Amino acid sequence: MKTWKFALVTTLVTLVIGGIYLLVVFEHRKNPGVQTQTAPEQNETPDDVAIVRQMFMTSFDDAVKLQDTSVWMKNGYTMPYYPYEGGRVVFAKKIGLIPSAEKLDIKKVIKAVPPADEDDGIDHGSRQVFAVFTLPGSTDLDATPIGVISGNQE
């Protein structure tokens, strides 16, 4: 067989296979399958439709704005928390680390001086800022550090 006949036959075979493939694809796309037209009924609460916002606090007054709000822990298992009893943080009874995606109901924001040997992942400075909160389903008050105060630098 001559070279031009071989090239012609190869080209025709390729075009026939490509045409069959295109027909199959077009037929498949004509029938997309079963589609529902009605959306399922959604009963969502404001907590279900949470908008993640980050707060960048530059002073203690900014941190006080967290009082009486709910926040969710984004980076879980990084921040320790302690019991808050009698108007002070009990550093001797470290409870553990706050889990991720945990809702915290902030009750108040306080300043406290942690012990020098306590490692809570935040620089001690002269004082630390603590968020006093309750966990869902609990009435116990707990506290976790959220900032540091070094002299007049907050």
Tell me the per-residue pLDDT of 80-112, one tens digit each, with 9 for 90 and over. Answer: 999 999 999 999 999 999 998 889 999 999 999
Q: Could you identify the residue written with the tokens 């002269």?
A: 126
CA distance 114 to 128: 7
The Cα 23–Cα 28 span in angstroms is 8
Q: Structure pTM? A: 0.66
Q: From the CA atom positions of the chain, what is the Rg in Å?
A: 31
Of 40, 39, 38, 109, residue with least CA distance to 71: 109
Better-scored residue on pLDDT, 22 or 45: 22
pLDDT in tens, 28-40: 888 767 666 676 7
Token pair belonging to 117: 């040997």
Average pLDDT over residues 7-14: 94
Q: Check: CB of residue 49 under 8 Å from CB of residue 85.
A: no
Q: CB-based contacts of 109: which residues, under 8 Å, 6+ apart?
A: 60, 63, 64, 66, 67, 129, 130, 131, 132, 146
CA pair distance 96, 100, nearest whole angstrom: 13
Residue 68's pLDDT is: 92
pLDDT at position 36: 65
